[in-house]
Structures are given as structure tokens and as C-alpha cells.
A and B are shown apart, each in its own frame.
Chain A
């Protein structure tokens, strides 16, 4: 009993120390310039909301939130659709083609995207998709498909075939059996696919910087990046921008924390 109490004290102390950057982030965003320079580590007194009002428009957060949401949601729908369909074939076809394609998809998990970065940039430019939502959606769907297919295939393999067979005896085609019977059974892994891909796509920076920089269709991380570059010395303003930029995903995390943590800790085992 005493030992868990001691451990609890140590862990809470560790958590408090761990949260120091977050304390700095929130308190600084609520300070005026005078407080920032004179009492950088104290609590804001009095707190001011000026930084938030200014950062909201200066960082163009409203349009970036729309861009990030559109790109993330459409990519997720495409990934779940294409990924689960492909995995159904890969998990059920015990042919050389099925196995070969599975290995081909797995290869995509190993290849770092930097290898194809420049040829892909050129291809997307030639297709006229630089600076568009469609270009980003195509990119995320392709890049995250291997991992998505891997998760779905592992899950479907462990699923008894009889569900789909029963539907087929009743006259359903493979397509109907999959969409009506099998896909609903994939809910747990669909949740994992959704969470891991959503966090990756929402936070991704390098490619949207390359494809969307200066287009007016920037995602949140890219907007925040150029905003910080512009106001770099004004920490109050910068931090208000960071708080608002990070808030949507942090809120989603807090609401769904149990599922998010489960997704991150289970998804990798397939």
C-alpha cells in the first residue's frame, strides 16, 4: 500500500515536469508583450485574449481547418474503401497472384517515401494536381495503402470464412457478401485504420508544404509553419496560433482517448 502511494507521488511529479512545455504554451499565449518579457514563467496576470483574436486571422486558421478536414476525411474514405476491398482478395485468394500482391503491398511499408519523392512531385505536377486537394488525397491514399492493407488482411485472415459462405449460399455475390456481411465485421480494425491514418494525415507536414505551399489550400501544419516564420519573435502570438492549431486534434483525442490509445498500441501487431 505504501509502495503504490510512493509510486503514485513519483509518477504525478513526473507528469507535472512532463507538462512544463504545455504550461509555457498556454500561459504565454495569454500574456501581453510586457508580461512576456518581464515574467515569462509566471501565471498571466491579467490574462488577455488579444493574441488569439490576432493569430486566428493572421495564421489563416479558418480556411486551413477546412482544407485539413476535407483532405483527411476524403483520404480516409478512400483508404478504407480501397484497402478493405484489396485485403479481402489478398486474405482469401490462396493463389500465387494473391500472395505476390500481398508481398508487393508490404514492400510499401518498408520503402521510405523520400525515395519516390521527386519523381512523384514531377508526376503530380504533370497531372496538374499541385496545389489542389485532389493531389494530396491521391498522395495519402497511395502512401497509406500498404499499412492499411496490411492491417485489414491480417484481420480478415483471422475471420471465419463461413460468414461470407453463408451469404453466398443464399445467392449473394462476392461483392454483396463483402459489403453486407464481411465489412461490418471489420469494425474493430476499421477503427484502428481510421485513427492511425487520421493522426498521420492531419499532422503530416513535408508533402503538404511541397504541394500546397503558397496555393491558398494549405493544411493546418503548413499554415502554422508559415505563420510562425512571419511572427517568430512574438511568442504570445505564435503560441496562441499553436494552441488553436493543435486544439482540434487534442480535443478529438481527449473525447476518444481510450480508442486512440488502443489503436496505437494494437494496430502494429496486425
Chain B
């Protein structure tokens, strides 16, 4: 009797409302976006014609778009490396039996819940070029953090890392908490020192947390928009322009909607590639277990 009842699945109608909203908001626009990427649509009226791969060829010859692609990749690399490195150090720190550990976790995590736009405005002051204010005043420097084209991109990376290092920290922390204490004890009995235990016990068992962190920070970096838009709007010149800020401008400033969606498609391909590598990696790990 129980078997017969449990074999009956709920009707697909359970999924119908969600599917409808998802199709309207995500599926249809994304498919349409892929199609628009091959047109010269200007956003006004219905007039558009199919232009083949012309938009993509134009991207290759567009200094601003290619520059933004390079910036996006550099920014992403810097954010992924520094954010996860710092996040790991913080996690190891607050994982130890410190009296202030609970408070430290709250402090390092707090910026994660704040709007990136507001964090960017706060950092705009921290990056004040005035030698007596902000970071310059604190450290006795005279750097034009957001105005100097050779520094600005790294300054953006700095504010993103400040906001999200705590996010990496809590994911690493969850990984650390999942490592059985017996493993460390066994390694200690075998005479392993702190570094060896990190290298041979902690690090391999942190792999799932590392994978999640790498994926989150990579995708977040590739899609970065709010912080750049609020802090520099892509300037000085094109120094901090990212794919997301360029595709925004192409659409809503210059009205080149077809071209803008072509850039969005390039961005989507990068994000999809990262996600697929990640999914493949997670799958093969599950199989290995």
C-alpha cells in the first residue's frame, strides 16, 4: 500500500506557475538576447535587420570593448586570488579557539550584506586623492587611487575584496568545521607539524569549499557592474571599464541594442564556461568518492 502511494508523483502542475514566470523573465529574454546579438536593433521601433557576425567583428575592432574585456579578466583574476587568499587566512584565524572569534566573524562578514553601491561610495572617500583624508591621510600617501589610470583598476579590486573577503571566509570556515578532529590528532601522533598538517590534512579537505569560492568569486568578478558604475563609471578614460559597464552604455547611452547584446553574449559565454568547468569538476569529485 505504502509503496503504491509513494510511487505516485505529484502532478507537473506543481511546477507550472514557477515555469511560467521563469519562462517570461529569463528564458524568453535570454533566447531573444542571443538573436538580437546578430542584429543592428537600435531599441526604437521594430526596425532591425540581421547582420550576421558583424557585431562580434565590431567588438574585435572596438578599443573600448576589447579594453573592457581585458579589464574584466584582470579584475576577476585579482579579486579571485586576493579575496580567496585573504578569506582563507581569516577563516584559519577565526577557526582557532579565540575569545573574540564570534565578534571577529561578524565584523569581517558584515560588509557582505551591504549594497555594493553604498560600499563603492564609501570607498570613493577612502580613495580620496586629498593627502590629509581617507587612506592617504591614514597611511601618509599621496596616491590618486581612482584618478590614476594605472592604479584605478586595482583600487576597484581592493574595494570588492574588502566587501567579499568575509564571504569567502565563512565558506572556508564551513569547510574547516567539517574536517574531523581525529584526522588532525592522527597526523599529530605521526609527528606532523602545523604546516604539514595544513598541507596534507586541511588543504585537500578544503577542496569543496575552495571550488565554491572560486566559482562565486569568478562569476562575481566577470559580471562586476555596481562598484565600477558608482565609483568611476569606467574612467579615467576607459581604465576601469568592464564588460557590464560597456554593454550598459552601448544600450542605454548610445542606443546600440544589438551591439550591446552581442557583448552580453560574450560575457555569458565566459560565465557559462566557468560554470561548466566547475560542474564538471564537482561531478568528477563525486564519482571519485
Contacts and interface: CB of A to CB of B under 8 A. Distances in A.
Contact of A268 (B134, B137, B212, B251): B212
Given A11-B100, A40-B133, A86-B18, A118 B113 contact: no
Given A101-B15, A123-B29, A266-B174, A203 B116 contact: yes
B123 A4 contact: no
Interface of A: 4, 7-8, 10-12, 14-15, 18-21, 24-25, 28, 40-41, 78, 82-83, 85-86, 88-90, 92-95, 97-98, 101, 104-105, 108-120, 122-123, 138-139, 141-143, 145-146, 149, 161-162, 164-165, 168-169, 174, 178, 199, 202-203, 205-206, 210, 220-221, 224-225, 228, 235, 238-239, 242, 245-246, 249-250, 252-254, 257, 260-261, 264-266, 268-269
Given A20-B138, A108-B26, A169-B5, A199 B113 contact: yes
Given A89-B10, A98-B9, A118-B251, A202 B93 contact: no
Contacts of B208: 269
A41 B133 contact: yes
Given A115-B265, A118-B43, A210-B252, A139 B9 contact: no
Interface of B: 1-2, 5-6, 8-15, 17-19, 21-22, 24-30, 32-34, 36, 43, 90, 93-94, 96-100, 104-110, 112-118, 121-123, 125-126, 130, 132-135, 137-138, 162, 167, 170-171, 173-174, 208, 212, 216, 219, 222-223, 225-226, 229-230, 244, 247-248, 251-252, 257, 260-261, 264-265, 267-268, 271-272, 275-276
A33 to B, nearest CB: 14
Nearest to B258: A118
Given A85-B17, A88-B14, A114-B244, A21 B123 contact: yes
B2 A162 contact: yes
16 contacts: A12-B100, A14-B93, A15-B108, A21-B122, A78-B21, A82-B21, A89-B9, A89-B14, A90-B15, A104-B27, A111-B271, A112-B264, A199-B112, A199-B113, A242-B118, A249-B113
Chain A interface mostly: helix
Contacts of A98: 9, 12
Contact of B9 (A20, A92, A228): A92
Instruction: Specify which of B94, B109, B122, B267 lies most central, judged by the most chain A CB atoms within 10 Å of its CB.
Output: B122
B233 to A, nearest CB: 10
Chain B interface mostly: helix
A240 to B, nearest CB: 12
Contact of B264 (A86, A117, A122, A250): A117
A239 B122 CA distance: 8
Contact of B10 (A92, A111, A268): A92
B12 A112 contact: no
A4 B97 contact: yes
Nearest to B1: A169
